[in-house]
Amino acid sequence: MTFRSGFATLVGRPNVGKSTLLNQLVGTKVSIVSDQPQTTRNQVRGVWNGPGSQIVFIDTPGIHKPKTELGRRLNQRSTDTLGAVDVVCFLISATAPSGAGDRYIAGLLREVDTPVILVLNKTDSASPNEILGHLAGAADALGDFAAYVPLSARTGDGADALLGEITARLPEGPLYYPDGVVTDQPDTFLAAELLREKLLAVAREELPHSLAVTVEEIEERPDLLMFRAVVRVERDSQKGIVIGKGGAVIRDAGTAARTELEALLGVKVHLETHVKVDKDWQRRPEALDRLGL
C-alpha cells in the first residue's frame, strides 16, 4: 500500500479559526485559542494520522496590516510557508463577506505553485443560503482554487471532507512523526502559550498585543514537572493589570494553565510565575530576537 505524507499550512486573516481548526483536526489542543487577533505568534505544528497517510499541519499567525516589528515578523512567518508545503488551506469566514484582507492573501497565493484549498469556516453560524452565497462568490472575489470545503472548526462538521481533499494531493512520503505524536512543540512552549491564553481571557481589552510569556523547565521528576514562567508587558500600568488585586489575576491564570497542562501532559505540574516590564518589546528587534519571535 502506498503511504502518502506531507505538510499543509493553514493561512488566513486573523480570527478566521485556524487554531480552532488545527485542534479539531488533530483531536487535542496544540494551539491556543482566543478571540483576539494575532493570538498565534509562531508556526505551530499538529500531526494527523490516517489510514496510509500522515498530514503535518502548520498553524500560522493571521496575515494583517502590521503596525509594529512584531506584526511584520508574524506576517513573514505566515507567508514563508506558502511555497514550502504540499497543500495550502486558505480559511475565510462564512459569517462575513470577503474583504481586502482576504483579497490580499488570495493575491499572495496566486504567486505560488502550491495547490490551494479554500476553506469556508464557521458554517455553524451561517445559514445554508449564506454558505452557498460565499462559495459562489469566492471565485469572483478571490480567484479559482483546487477545491472548496465548507466546514465548522468548532463542531468538526466538514473536517473529514477537508482531510480527504488534502490527502488526495499528498505525494508518496515517509512517516514524519511516530504514531501518537500530535505536535513537536516542547512542553515549555505549551506551558507559555497556555498561560498567555489564560491571561488574554482576563485582560483581553487592555493588553492583547503587549503580552509575552516565556517558560523554562527548572526541574523534571518522574511524577512532577517544574516550570518558571516570565510574563512580559510593556508598561508599569500593564504589570498591575496582569498581577491583579492581591495577585488574583496572575494566580488564577497560572492555576488554570497548570490544570490544563497537567491534563495534556498526564503529570503533575508546578508553575512559578513572574511579571516584568520590558518597555516596547514588540517594537524592538533585539527584544523580539531574545523572545524567539
pLDDT tens, residue by residue, 60-72: 776 766 667 766 7
Whole-prediction pTM: 0.78
Q: Where in the chain are the domains?
A: 4-167, 187-290
Domain 187-290, what architecture?
2-Layer Sandwich (3.30)
> Hey, which residues does 51 pair with through a beta bridge?
none
List Cβ neighbours of 205 (8 Å cut-off, separation of 6 or more). none
Out of 35-44, 148-157, 188-197, 272-281, give the one with best mean pLDDT: 148-157
Say what the pLDDT of residue 141 is.
Answer: 83
DSSP string, 122-155: -GGGS-HHHHHHHHHHHHHHH---SEEEE--TTT
Each residue of 6-26: pLDDT tens digit? 999 999 988 889 889 999 999
Cell of 124: 455553524
pLDDT above 60 (res 35) = no
Using CA atoms in the order 148, 102, 97, 22, what is the torsion angle rounded to 10 degrees? 60
Query: With pLDDT > 70 as the criterion, what percentage of the chain qualifies?
Result: 89
Specify the residue for cell string 466538514. Answer: 158
| 4-167 CATH choice from 3.40.50.10780, 3.40.50.300, 3.20.20.70, 3.40.50.10320 | 3.40.50.300
Each residue of 175-195: pLDDT tens digit? 999 888 888 888 888 888 889
pLDDT above 60 (res 36) = no
Each residue of 201-228: pLDDT tens digit? 876 656 657 888 898 877 788 889 899 9
Pairing mode of beta strands 4-12, 87-93:
parallel
Taking all residues of the chain, what is their mean pLDDT, rounded to a whole number? 86
